[in-house]
Chain A
Amino acid sequence: AQSVAQPEDQVNVAEGNPLTVKCTYSVSGNPYLFWYVQYPNRGLQFLLKYITGDNLVKGSYGFEAEFNKSQTSFHLKKPSALVSDSALYFCAVRDIYNFNKFYFGSGTKLNVKP
């Protein structure tokens, strides 16, 4: 079975500070991992993905994520948070046995305070 977990319901950070949103995965085989962001009353927007290759993945809006196989983690990071980064963030994994299926984490609300 494939799954992802986001251990924090909410993350608070001050503007200008680095931010980390955590995600761990459980998959049998190679994981295909994604991060999405959702602003209020909007659809999900794709940020970045890990398929294979470099463990540090760079994405949209200055976000990056670090794939760590030994810790089965795929944490989202940004060196300097903006107030406009405040949103709901979802980690997701693609089912390698049913390629049309994606599993989402429970979501983490990021609050960036000025």
Chain B
Amino acid sequence: DTEVTQTPKHLVMGMTNKKSLKCEQHMGHRAMYWYKQKAKKPPELMFVYSYEKLSINESVPSRFSPECPNSSLLNLHLHALQPEDSALYLCASSQGDRDRSYNEQFFGPGTRLTVL
């Protein structure tokens, strides 16, 4: 199974709502990533979990809260978002850095988020 799954595919939320994005992989990867992508732009790194610990936070606003319950799951909790947060949110995974693997990232299909 070389697939990263993300739910939901689409999400519309108001600025006062609380919602969560979910990501799952069963490739035994120990690094998992959240990216934000605007139309026709490259993915922007938000968070990296390595061996279930937060290893990179790219100065993301606190209205985004990541969580890694176990080695296969990654969540992104959303609260009090702004319209400019509307984007495609991509999850990815790769082998952990302790493996010194040079392998690629595997991306999920993304969640299209619209904040009204």
**Residues of A in contact with B (beta carbons under 8 Å apart):** 32, 34, 36, 41-46, 49, 51, 88, 90, 94, 98-102, 104-107, 109
Contacts and interface: CB of A to CB of B under 8 A. Distances in A.
Interface residues of B, number: 30
B42 A99 contact: no
A53 B109 CA distance: 32
A41 B16 CA distance: 26
B110 A42 contact: yes
B41 A107 contact: yes
B110 A41 contact: yes
B55 A44 contact: no
Contact of B40 (A51, A99, A107): A107
In the A-B complex, the 6 residue pairs with the smallest Cβ-Cβ separation, listed nearest first, are: A99-B97, A43-B107, A104-B42, A44-B107, A51-B102, A46-B104
A45 B107 contact: yes
Contacts of A100: 31, 33, 48, 50, 55-56, 94, 96-97
Contacts of A36: 107
Nearest to A44: B107
A107 B104 contact: no
Nearest to A90: B42
